[in-house]
Structure 1
Amino acid sequence: MRRHLWLATGAAVVVAAQPAIAQAKQFDIPAQPAESAITALGRQAGVQIVAARSFSRGKRTNAVRGAMSVDAALTRLLEGTGLRAQRSGPQTYVVLGPVAAMFTPAQATARQVSASEPQLPPGVTTDQPADGATGSTTAANVPGEGQAEEPARDVVVTGSRIVSSGFTAPTPTQVLSYEAITKNAQPNVFTTVAQLPALQGSTGATVGANGTSTGVQGLSTLSLRGLQPIRTLTLIDGQRVVGANVTGVADVSLFPQLLIERVDVVTGGASASYGSDAVGGVVNFVTNTRFTGFRANILGGISTYGDDANWTVQAAAGKSLAGDRLHLIVSGEYSHEDGIPSAGFGVGNDPNGDGPNGRTWLVARGVQNRGITTDGLPQYLVRDHVQSTLFGRYGLINSGPLAGTAFDVNGNPVPFRYGTGCLPGSCIGGDLSGSVTNGNSFKSEITRLNSYGRIGFDVDPDNEIYATLNVARVDTSNTPNPGSAQDNLTIQCANPFVPAAIQSACAANGITSFRFGTVNPMFDFIDVNTRRHQYRGVVGAKGKVAAFGTDWRYDAYYEHGTGITDINVNNIPLMPRYRAAIQAVRGANGVITCADPVAVASGCSPLNVFGGQAPTDATRYYIEPQNGPYQHTRQTQDVASFSVSGEPLALPAGPLAVAFGAEFRHEFYRVTADPYGNGVLTGTGYTDDYPADPLLNPQGGNWYAGNYRNGSGGYDVLESYLELNAPLFDSESIGRANLNVAGRATNYSTSGTVYTWKVGGTWDTPLDGFRLRGVTSRDIRAPNLSELFAAPVTSNRTGTIDPFNGNRSITVLQTTTGNRALTPEIARNTEVGFVLSRASWLPGFSLSVDYFRIKIDDAISALDAQTQINLCYGGVQFTCGSFDLSNLDSAYVTVQPFNFASIFTDGLDIEASYTTKLDGIGLPGRLSLRGLATHTINFVQDTGLPGTIPRQLAGTNIEATAVPHWKVLASQDWSTDTVSLTVQERWFSAGVFSNENIVCQTNCPVSTVNHPTYDYNRVPGALYVDLAASYRFTRAFQAYAKVDNVFNRDGETVPGNITTPTLYDVVGRAFRLGLRANF
């Protein structure tokens, strides 16, 4: 029979259950406060114990020592305290207080409750998943082994602001427990969370490793539904976090990871409850605010290729003082991952495979454009080992009568090996040594340092004041590419560095100059170093007060966060100086010097671009000064928030639950850049580190890449919300149902007022264990600081195709800037589904299936440089004014966001789990099986521009935000008191380059911009298998091991990228060993 569980106040202690209850156990528990004593007994007995904090607070229990049954131990422990324990399941107990203390008057009149019925705290429902599972629930997941020492804490329901007994939110919520996180044994909890199928497009150390100016290197940000991290709201303990870069996204690697007891993933719109950005959903990291004892973790690992060595050291301690009223918690950690560095030039172009450190699967896969659209053959050809014919490793003359003349390492002219299948700008094979296509870092080097402290004081048993401080730092380093390739240089034949044979050929052909391309191998690889600091402090109060005949819970806090990001780029040329240095002449005294007297006066030292001769120090530091591009960003966030919830009115089916609150938020950022990148017309002028130079453009943009700009901006947000939960009916014949509604008004200083709402409900049907749920909502995402206020940032884009001039490959200067006229995105979210859980006819099994549908209008989007060029060529006039390719020396494209796009996605979330003890078949331990899957049916993005068509992105597996049709995470776990073994499978389905491509070999239709013809269009799926094991050799110590990608399944190369790092494992097989301690 379904139980109706009610409790006026509550917090829970839940302890992992393993051995048989009737078996005598050895206990050694001194007299102590009830909260910690109940925790200790549960840990030593290996059972689940649920205790209401309001019952146990202020009480002391008896000592329990010796061998006895669990029932006898609980009776002895609680004797004389007014508390009693009652078994609520085969391995579960509930600690009960006096019957009169369990219910408010409103609850007592709502229904009669048997004094013998076990009472659970609010939000802890009877359909929770088994220990350590990930479950669709709105309650705290039952903690697993290693959490037993944690004292009671308030249960926070992430899917809603309602706190009410028996309430189940209609929005599906997946929960990662502490046990699931620890068993995955990752250096960064981000990796574990990002593996959930509903999360796609999250960025980590393998994403952004090929960028200089993006600022996302090493960021650990989460993305739901492939909607990008900017549309996923990431919280810690239900509170906002200062952004880790100007897009406003939080870096979860800066959180106190050892204190995370669970992660709630709300897979639906939640703007009405939590505010802006919760379009894809909410990821809430819940920490243990009542932790007592000591916990430590040491972890080390390495890949099968001998790289990406990593080590992590973590420790946390908690103590209760002053009669269990004062609670102190501190934690700290250090973690380092070597990453996978650049392997240099030519990577991926060896027919035998030559990826970094033996990753032979890497090849340079590219797309060749035939430039012919009507001859019945595919316009685009997908080929491996594609190389540019515009530059060579040590130099290449790429046009005119001397085209095809390359140079060896000593600067001697040699014929360039073009290979086969040549089309304008590229060939297959041939001289592969100069390719820079796949030469960037595979994975950024990353170092994390994190410290955290919390102090809480119980003013009385029901009210706490607290303060937290989180100080953290993340350092990353990456190589965006191994050289600073140039393909459109003009070299004078009279240049004294030009070999004599070439000078003679110039004379013979009547030319005085030639076009030249090189990767500049004489310089060290570009090195991008990013350091992020986070300083976050919170003061708050929470608890409950009695008013108007009922209890009201409140939670108020003020948060101030400061995020500081410093980016420093080394080994990168100043292009005006580079161009001056390559124009050399022989002076009157026979010494080679720069041709421009202005350059000579400012220190120009000539550069020989023929061959691989190392430049002099004078030349090197003239072109690549020791002080390279830098960007200093300071972001601040101030939040003042309060929320109140209660049950003011008794309805026939139960109490009406109400939650309301308000929040004020101020966001601000300021960027300071170097004067060479920013220019000196605004901001600060030249400095001793960046002295004046008449060759440099005073408007900035002088670096090869990393031309950061000064900027600043901010906005204020004031919002209020109201949420109601009304029980509709509650009877044995038709079941129990509730209606959940919420509304929020939000005023932005930049764009005015916007409204969001949510309507949903659940129905616990009369069918045993079967529940229906559904919710629809209006959600928003406001433009972030970067989209609104970003100053222009310029960078070089090599390999840009110019369709107006025979599809030649050129280098353009891309300028990205903000738009202060942006308005919030508007989204409609709908989710409907069912849950089958704890049915009497199938104990231990649970299943949930939910359909989701998200439609975003006025989506903020910016077209990339190549897309704008292609659209203009195809007749979309809107994009034609954003670029100019007429002069190769000054070709540019401007990229700016607008509210003209829309996004539509829908699909299914499926989750199943089964847990059983094995003693029935004569085996020890517990077997847990679980699987999660997300099936994306559609992901349609519409630019909103005339002449364009919506793009179906579901199943396009080559972009950073790739959304495969299917993504699955499954695990099989066997555990005893001392040993656990876990097998995990990660799988995603095969996809395509683009769903708009037409695949054909012959008889092809006319190739168009919207539907181009390709000869190949497939991206394989992948299955990865992981193994984990642990052994608890004492009560306090546990050793563990983890192997990711056991079968070393190779990655896949995709056109235009090394791979898709949000899908494929680029590291390969990885080994980790660790040791945990819990006291």
Structure 2
Amino acid sequence: MSCVTFSANALAQNVSNQPDSVLTDSDAADAPIIVTGSRIRRAATDSTAPIATVDSDQIKAAGTQNIADVVNQLPALAVTQTNQTSNLAGNAGINALDLRGMGTQRTLVLVDGRRQVAAIPGTSAVDLSNIPSSLVERVEVITGGASALYGADAVAGVANFILKKDYEGIDANARYSASTRGDMDTYGIDMLAGTNFADSRGNVTLYGFYENTPDTVSGADRPWTSDGYPIYARASSENRYFIQDHVRNINTADAAQLVLGGKLYSVDRGTGALRDPILGPGGLVNAVPVDLDTSTDPLGTLLTNGGEYNGRYDGLYLSVPSKRINTRASASFEVSPALNLFANATFAHNKSEAGYLQMTAFGTDVVPADSPYITDAIRAASGGSVPDSGVQFARRFMELPAPRTDYDRKLFQSVVGAEGDFSLFAQPWNYSTYYSYGKTTQRVRDVNSTAYDRWYLGLDSTTGANGEAICRSTLDDPGNGCVPINPLVTLTPEMIDYITYTSHWSKSTLTQQVLSGYVSGGLFDLPGGAVQVVLGAEYRKEKNDIGAIPEYNPDSPLYDPSIGTMADTLVGKYSVKEVFGEVHVPILANTPFFDTLSVDGALRLSDYSTAGSTTTWKVGGEWAPIPDIRFRATYGQAVRAPNIGELYTANSVSGLWITDPCNDYNLENRNTRTEYTADNCAAINPADTVSYWVYKDIISSGNLDLQPETAKTLTVGAVVQPRFIPGLTFTVDYYNIDLRNAIDAFGAQTLIDKCVDQASLDNIFCPLIERDENGNIQSVQTQKLNLAQYLTRGVDFGLNYSLPLSRLGIEGDAGTLSVDANYTRLIKRRYTLDPTDPNSITEYAGIFGSPKWKGVVRTSYTRDHMGVTWTLRHFSPMKNSTTVTEEAYEDVWTPDVFYNDISAYVDVTDNIELSGGLNNMFDRKPPRIPGAEAGGSNFELSYQSGVYDVIGRTFFLTLRFHQ
């Protein structure tokens, strides 16, 4: 995690809750405050765990209402669920955090140190878009020992969003942002209003926020995703792979593509007449020419570089549209120093959608030989007759309405509690307790989706008794309503109505209740100060009612089996009882070679209704031989119990295009095959070794046998604050997280490949693959398993320097120049799918999403009534996959990629502020390394954008009124 220096007003939570309190640098070290990572009041700099911070100035400089966009710039965070990545990853519009790239389920998100209700039923993922940026005072992110302090889901660490409190006055903002290409308009307004009463012992604060991003930005809207895509190609195994760019697949044409008599044809969409295809300027550009007379899958392999063929990403959203409303009310009243009552309530309503490509026939779909849609021209081009197996075709059905999935989410959470100070053992003590109730409701529907079972029934056409086209299934079931489909021409409205549908809404809910409290204070004094302890307990209960789209649910009267998708409903719940403790032992202070010496410890005992008892702990210490340098370390055990979605996921059946690793092409060309693959495939002996893509059932289900996963975490670092350079802090921290028996899901294609890549077919993967009596794949069952291992380690660097220019002898209001730099050097990010299989280890350091160096440097100049900030974001070179090596590939690495953002503000009057800025100021395009053109993607995630900016240059303007 990136580590930065911190002052009390930038990092610490002022427990006395004084509004707009400011501590001087000299006060900061000794102020009794609470910092994320401990419930013990201590000096702001007295922390054994590194803390990375995003403060309100940095949030404002980014010019976004979505705070996830700002926090994700910290190099400790991997880009995961955001508006630019969630289109095909599922749950579009959710913005979640992934610390250390270990998954959103292992990053705990707190608000003011308290748990938030998850945004997706069945998960623990918190939607950061429900925490508007203008309400946030700062964000603190820690790693190492966090699970012992805060409980489950903190394996990788904790992000604590600290909100503005005891606010007095009015702060209103109106924002507009867009891309410089004239799209992605975003409008937002918010208002914060608060007042103190009863001699400032009480406060009421209200907040409201609205943001709308109605535009969609698809792959067709950007040249790097619309003008073909780059691939690795080579003419023969004797050559190294090179990058072939601007490639388009033959099967993306609007017109049907046929290979007849060794020649490629396009079919006129209006008349059905055969014509020559309109290829790109390079014609067919396959590095190894495809022999159309002998190739078994020409339509799935032919490539060109333009012509009548569409882009790979056309129709896919590069950024999802959304509409968000958020309101919050909070109140507090200090009855006495020993009793401060507080309460707050939040309501958020978010709408979003995901957009997809229209249905594509990749070349394996067939018009039957006896179909009336086989014309005389087709027979003539085939040499007089077509094969008994029919005529294969490929095309993208652009006449179909654009499919999408709509999401509608509502969240309500309320918190009531009390805190205060008292004396015990002649030492100051404090306590805090709260009760939280939260509920998330999510509705989902599919719009303009394709019913693939109907599609294949309609495609299987024949000639009826009167010479008309009918479905073959109608011969046995005359009343089945099947509509015969001619895929070679533009589909008729009747055909479109038959194969497409819009579902009713599903509804799922998650409710969470938390009762938590602790007391903290001193026991006795040591030379370094008072020994302090924390004792606390927590009870948490969660319940999920997972609904299903009625058309997919066999128990619903609206169930439609002809769609080919099935999903069940379920109710899952769990509860956990926990006790926890923490101790801080300051052994020495202000002693030669021991300016500070202390040790810390924390322990949490948990009892889950589903997973049984678990124990998490941590130990830590710090030593400062002189005030200028301080060493710190933590070591601990983190435990995460399976969540409701992992345990109870409702059974669902849907279709997916997969490829059999035992087909002829994969046996010869798949890069990840092992020395065992050929023998295992020979034992399976599938009858169909020709088809590449096959559309099969994917069965998803929960796993009640899951056990908790356990990680060992270590951080070791140093903080340097040289007294001879006032305002400078440099930090360096090494981290190591080793997670065993990780609860993880494996994609269907991964399960299929791994089954045949093991030393024998007797492994944990093959039982999840169902094959028919001929050895062909029938279905794949996906579920979470306690199997994987994550190991990540690296070094974080932080530099913070603030220089009032008056120190340089400049008179008058010279202003202040500051630099805040955070970098992470990723040493290892190793993922082991199956620890018993040495061939299942993958090293992801340097692969898309896991740069070996990632950093952000912010340079700011401020003076009275104005300021400017330049942000430089950096990704070191990355490559497409672990199989891409310099020995076999000419172009392996992306270049170093830098993004420049600039923002400025000026006070127009005492109450009005105008700000604006440019993000990706120089309109840096994604690199042209295969996959990077779409943001740094991979197949298992359906080519989602993730690392590189796929939108291009954007700008924002903000008008602020405050008093």
Task: Report the TM-score, using the length of structure 2 for normalisation.
Answer: 0.87
Alpha-carbon distance in structure 1 between the residues aligned to 2:379 and 2:250: 22
1:173 to 51, 56, 69: 51
| Structure 1 residue 841, shift from structure 2 partner | 0.6
Aligned match of 1:845: 728
Distance of aligned partners of 1:711 and 1:977 in 2 relative to their CA distance in 1, 3 Å threshold:
same
Out of 345, 353, 357, the position equivalent to 1:481 is 357
Q: State the Cα distance separating 1:500 from its structure 2 match.
A: 3.1
Q: Give the structure 1 partner of residue 841 of structure 2.
A: 950
1:606 partner SS: coil
Matching of residues 175-190 of structure 1 within 5 Å: 175-190=53-68
Runs in 1 of length 4+ with deviation above 6 angstroms? 885-890
Cα pair distance change 1:708/1:1024, threshold 3 Å: farther
Task: Indicate yes or no: 2:610 matched with 1:750.
Answer: yes
Task: Write out per-residue CA displacement over residues 211-266 of structure 1, whole angstroms, 9 at most, x where no aligned residue.
Answer: 2xx53311110111111211111111111111111221100111254321111111
Instruction: Show the 5 A alignment for 1:495-644.
Output: 495-504=371-380, 508-509=384-385, 511-512=387-388, 513-585=390-462, 587=464, 592-597=469-474, 601-611=479-489, 613-616=490-493, 618-627=494-503, 630-644=505-519
Whole-angstrom CA distance in 1 between matches of 2:13 and 2:480: 74
Aligned counterpart for 2:796 among listed residues 883, 897, 909: 909
The Cα offsets for residues 16-51 of structure 1, whole Å up to 9 and x where unpaired, read as xxxxxxxxxxxxxxxxxxx67xx5xxxxxxxx844x
Of stretches 740-749 and 863-872 in structure 1, the one that deviates more from structure 2 is: 863-872
- The answer to whether the aligner puts 1:821 opposite 2:693 as a matched pair is no
Letter in 2 for 1:954: A
Taking a change above 3 Å as real, the CA distance of residues 283 and 842 of structure 1, as seen in their structure-2 partners, is: same
Match for 2:620 among 753, 757, 760?
Answer: 760
Aligned-partner SS, 1:855: strand
- Aligned partner of 1:788 in structure 2 is 647
Question: What secondary structure, in the 3-state scheme, does the structure 1 residue paired with 2:723 have?
Answer: coil
The residue that corresponds to 2:113 in the other structure is 238
- Give 2:737's match in structure 1, choosing from 829, 850, 854: 854
**Structure 1 residues 10 and 503: CA distance shift in structure 2, 3 A:** closer
1:263, 1:503 → 2: CA distance? 69
> Relative to 1, partners in 2 of residues 1:415 and 1:600: Cα closer, same or farther, differing over 3 Å?
farther
1:396 corresponds to 2:280: no
Counterpart in the other structure of 2:882: 995
**RMSD of equivalent CA atoms:** 3.0
Is the partner of 2:78 in helix, strand or coil? coil
Query: Which residue of structure 2 aligns with residue 110 of structure 1?
Result: none
1:685 to 556, 559, 565: 556
Per the TM alignment, residue 1028 of structure 1 is displaced from its structure 2 partner at its CA by 0.5
Question: Hey, what's the Cα distance between the residues in 2 that align with 1:631 and 1:1052?
Answer: 40
1:1015 Cα deviation (Å)?
Answer: 5.5
Aligned residues: 892
Q: Which moved more, 1:743-752 or 1:580-589?
A: 580-589
Residues 518 and 369 of structure 1: CA distance in aligned 2, closer, same or farther (over 3 Å): farther
Check conservation: 2:67, 2:129, Cα contact below 8 A: yes
Shift of 1:310: 0.8
Structure 2 partner of 1:313: 189
Give the drift of 1:431: 6.5
Q: What residue in structure 2 maps to residue 136 of structure 1?
A: none
Deviations 1:776-813 (A, max 9, x none): 11112222222211123344433646443323530333
What's the offset of the Cα at 1:537?
1.1
Kept after mapping to 2: 8 A contact 1:207/1:218? no
Are positions 1:1062 and 2:946 aligned together? yes
Does structure 2 conserve the Cα–Cα contact (< 8 Å) formed by 1:535 and 1:563? yes
Aligned to 1:806, the other structure's residue is in SS state helix
Whichever of the two has the greater Rg, that structure is 1
* 1:205 aligns to 2:87 (yes or no): no
Offset at 1:459? 1.8
Supply the distance in 2 between the matched residues of 1:901 and 1:204 (Cα, whole angstroms). Answer: 25
TM-score by length of 1: 0.78
Separation (CA, whole Å) in 2 of partners of 1:945 and 1:530? 40
Mapped partners of 2:305, 2:275: distance in 1: 13
1:665-744 equivalent positions in 2, closer than 5 A: 665-678=540-553, 680=554, 684-687=555-558, 690=559, 696=561, 702-703=564-565, 708-734=567-593, 735-744=595-604
- Shift in CA distance, 156/1078, structure 1 to aligned 2, threshold 3 Å: farther
Write the letter of the residue equivalent to 1:477: E
2: distance between equivalents of 1:430 and 1:1024? 30
CA distance in 1, matches of 2:395, 2:946: 32
The percent identity for this pair of structures is 27
Distance in 1 separating the partners of 2:719 and 2:351: 43
Does residue 768 of structure 2 align to residue 882 of structure 1? yes
Superposition pairs of residues 424-443 of structure 1, within 5 angstroms: 425-429=300-304, 433-435=308-310, 437-439=312-314, 440-443=316-319
8 Å CA contact 1:607–1:619 kept in 2: the answer is yes
Per-residue CA distance 1:961-1001 (angstroms, 9 max, x = gap):
x2110011001111111110111100010012233544435
Moved more, 775-784 or 978-987: 775-784
Amino acid at match of 2:844: L
SS in 2 for 1:619: helix
The answer to whether the Cα contact below 8 Å between 2:14 and 2:34 also exists between their aligned partners in 1 is: no
How far apart, in 2, do the equivalents of 1:432 and 1:338 lie?
A: 32
Query: Any gaps of 5 or more consecutive residues in structure 1?
Result: 15-34, 40-47, 51-87, 90-117, 127-138, 140-153, 344-354, 1002-1013
Tell me, yes or no, if structure 1 residue 926 matches structure 2 residue 816.
yes
For the pair 1:449 / 2:315, whether they are aligned, the reply is no
- Check 1:506–1:556 CA distance in 2 against 1; reply closer, same or farther (3 A cut): same
Aligned partners of 1:620 and 1:673: how far apart in 2? 25
**Partner SS for 1:975:** strand
Q: Which among 34, 44, 48 is matched to residue 156 of structure 1?
A: 34
Go from structure 1 to structure 2 and tell me whether the alpha carbon gap of 1:710 and 1:953 turns closer, same or farther (over 3 Å shift). same
Q: 1:438 to 1:1052 in 2, by over 3 A?
A: farther
Equivalent-residue separation in structure 1 for 2:952 and 2:718 (angstroms): 38
1:830 to 695, 699, 714: 714
Alignment correspondent of 1:125: 29
Conserved in 2, the CA contact under 8 Å of 1:465 and 1:540? Answer: yes
Q: Which amino acid letter does the alignment assign opposite residue 420 of structure 2?
A: G
* Aligned 8 A contact 1:488 1:889 in 2: no
**1:658 Cα deviation after fit:** 0.4
Deviates more, 1:408-417 or 1:881-890: 881-890
Higher alpha-carbon deviation: 1018-1027 or 432-441? 432-441
Which one of 875, 887, 892 corresponds to residue 779 of structure 2? 892
Q: Secondary structure at the match of 2:819?
A: strand
Contact 1:256/1:332, CA 8 A, preserved across alignment: no
**Contact 1:420/1:430, CA 8 A, preserved across alignment:** no
Unaligned runs of 5+ in 2: 1-7, 291-296, 667-690, 937-944
Measured after TM superposition, the shift of residue 578 of structure 1 is 1.8
Q: 1:1026 to 1:403 in 2, by over 3 A?
A: same
Residues in 2 aligned to 1:677 and 1:434: alpha-carbon distance in whole angstroms? 34
Residue aligning to 2:637: 778
| SS of residue matched to 2:318 | coil
What letter matches 2:229 in structure 1?
A
Tell me if structure 2 keeps the 8 A contact 1:1041–1:1074: yes
One-letter amino acid of the counterpart of residue 438, structure 1: Y
Out of 635, 640, 645, the position equivalent to 2:520 is: 645
Q: For residue 856 of structure 1, report the CA deviation from its aligned partner.
A: 0.7
Look up the equivalent residue of 2:916 and give its one-letter code. A
- Residue 588 of structure 1 deviates from its aligned partner by 5.2
Matched, 1:986 2:873: yes
Conserved? CA contact 1:361–1:1051, under 8 Å: no
Residues 585 and 599 in structure 2, CA contact (< 8 A), matched pair in contact too: yes
Structure 1 residue 390, shift from structure 2 partner: 5.8
